[in-house]
């Protein structure tokens, strides 16, 4: 998108980057502001309005060559995407198996991203391809909103709607708020490394652009495998133990990334870290979904992730420039280990709540919602 903005409309790199940052922040804010409505009776309205705005905004940016229209379209598209993310996240809570649902969601995400990353270069990184494809995806998704399982607040058809243990309890509320705070900080630690991965690879491991391209491709493949595994396994792998292993392993890989100097080893570390990242991401989202069947916590979870992620480029580049890549690796690893403690405790609580919900199955099950 930045290439399209600078190439066709004459934006500077800074202007294009600022606009895309604004779009991402608009997405995050819209997700957070609409999460309560998406967790209740307004889920379908939020989904349809969000996808409609996203399709209209990105289509305008793609096909109307006017700077004011493009700026407005990209920001409106971001706002609409936030509503779609909120509704989709909330719907995860109503599904019977949050681990499988989150795994399949992650798998679908990686597949779509892979297709887009393949198609855009083939078509040429222009406004029509970069923003037009996103508008088309939003329009296609608009026709699937009726498949979303409803909230227990508005219907008893959802597979987990008959029981939402602990929904109003103080412990669950504190756990949900803690999860959102931890997820934002975890996003900061993860994306800070990704923000400097290319320059760090070039500076300390003599990795060229071809090598980084291979890292990106294999990282995407690793994410596909990880999400597919969780989607197939569902509850059989558990939730807390895999999350703990992923967080600790991720911390170790972050620390290694700032110290290795061999190009091949650096590539292996970054690819492994990206694969582990997807595992942890999916289990955190599943934890949010399992805490409340209405989607009270899974609706805003991606919004807070984007908030943390938006500060990552500044944090990562500032720390690496001022203290060095090795210090960056140690700091990010330390952040992950500290965050692992509350995340593991919250995951344990979510497992208990999830088991109570499964132990009280609803009598009227919407088969489409299960799928």
Render 252-277 in DSSP notation, one character per residue.
Answer: HHHHHHTT---HHHHHHHHHHHHHHH
| Alpha-carbon separation of residue 116 from 121, 130, 222 (angstroms) | 9, 9, 17
What torsion, rounded to 10 degrees, do the Cα atoms 282, 253, 334, 234 define? 20
Cβ-contact 113, 294 below 8 angstroms: no
Q: Which residues contact 110 (CB under 8 A, 6 or more apart)?
A: 220, 223, 224, 227, 278
CB atoms closer than 10 angstroms to residue 94? 31
Average pLDDT, integer, range 265-287: 93
The alpha carbons of the chain give a radius of gyration, in whole angstroms, of 20
Report for 212-221, 292-301, 325-334: range of highest mean pLDDT: 325-334
Q: How far apart are CA 287 and CA 277, in angstroms?
A: 15
Under 8 Å between Cβ of 92 and 108? no
Q: H-helix or E-strand containing 145?
A: none
Q: What's the per-residue H, E or C state across 311-341?
A: CHHHHHHHHHHHHCHHHHHHHHHHHHHHHHH
Q: Of 305 and 218, which is predicted with more confidence?
A: 305
pLDDT, tens digit, 9 for 90 and up, residues 172-230: 999 999 999 999 999 999 999 988 888 888 888 888 877 877 887 788 888 888 888 88
Q: Please, is 63 exposed, middle or buried when counting C-beta atoms within 10 Å of its C-beta (0-12, 13-18, 19+)? A: middle
The average pLDDT across 270-287 equals 93
Looking at residue 30, its pLDDT comes to 95
- Max avg pLDDT among 176-185, 294-303, 314-323: 176-185
Asked if residue 195 lies in contact with residue 21, where contact means CB atoms within 8 angstroms, the answer is: no
């Amino acid at each position: 998108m930045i290439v399209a903005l600078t190439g066709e409309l004459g934006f500077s790199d800074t202007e294009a980057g600022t606009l895309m940052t604004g779009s991402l922040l608009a997405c995050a804010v819209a997700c957070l502001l609409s999460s309560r409505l998406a967790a209740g009776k307004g889920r379908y309205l939020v989904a349809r309005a969000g996808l409609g705005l996203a399709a209209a905004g990105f289509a305008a940016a793609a096909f109307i060559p006017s700077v004011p229209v493009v700026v407005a379209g990209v920001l409106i598209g971001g706002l609409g995407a936030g509503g779609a993310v909120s509704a989709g996240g909330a719907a995860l809570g109503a599904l019977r198996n949050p681990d499988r649902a989150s795994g399949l969601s992650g798998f679908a995400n990686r597949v779509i991203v892979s297709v887009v990353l393949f198609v855009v270069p083939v078509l040429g990184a222009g406004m029509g391809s970069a923003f037009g494809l996103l508008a088309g995806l939003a329009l296609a998704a608009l026709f699937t909103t009726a498949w979303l399982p409803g909230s227990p607040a508005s219907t008893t058809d959802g597979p987990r709607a008959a029981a939402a243990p602990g929904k109003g309890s103080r412990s669950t509320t504190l756990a949900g708020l803690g999860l959102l705070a931890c997820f934002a900080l975890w996003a900061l630690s993860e994306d800070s490394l990704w923000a400097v991965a290319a320059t760090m690879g070039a500076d300390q491991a003599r990795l060229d652009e071809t090598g980084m391209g291979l890292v990106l491709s294999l990282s995407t493949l690793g994410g596909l495998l990880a999400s597919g595994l969780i989607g197939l396994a569902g509850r059989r792998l558990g939730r807390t133990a895999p999350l703990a292993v992923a967080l600790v392993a991720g911390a170790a890989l972050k620390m290694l990334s700032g110290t290795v100097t061999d190009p091949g080893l650096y590539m292996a570390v970054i690819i492994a870290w990206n694969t582990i990242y997807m595992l942890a991401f999916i289990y955190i989202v599943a934890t949010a979904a399992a805490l409340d069947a209405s989607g009270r916590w899974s609706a805003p979870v991606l919004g807070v992730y984007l908030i943390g992620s938006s500060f990552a480029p500044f944090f990562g580049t500032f720390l690496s420039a001022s203290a060095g890549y090795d210090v960056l690796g140690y700091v990010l690893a330390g952040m992950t280990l500290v965050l692992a403690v509350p995340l593991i405790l919250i995951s344990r609580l979510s497992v208990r709540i999830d088991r109570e919900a499964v132990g009280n199955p609803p009598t009227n099950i919407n088969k489409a919602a299960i799928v």
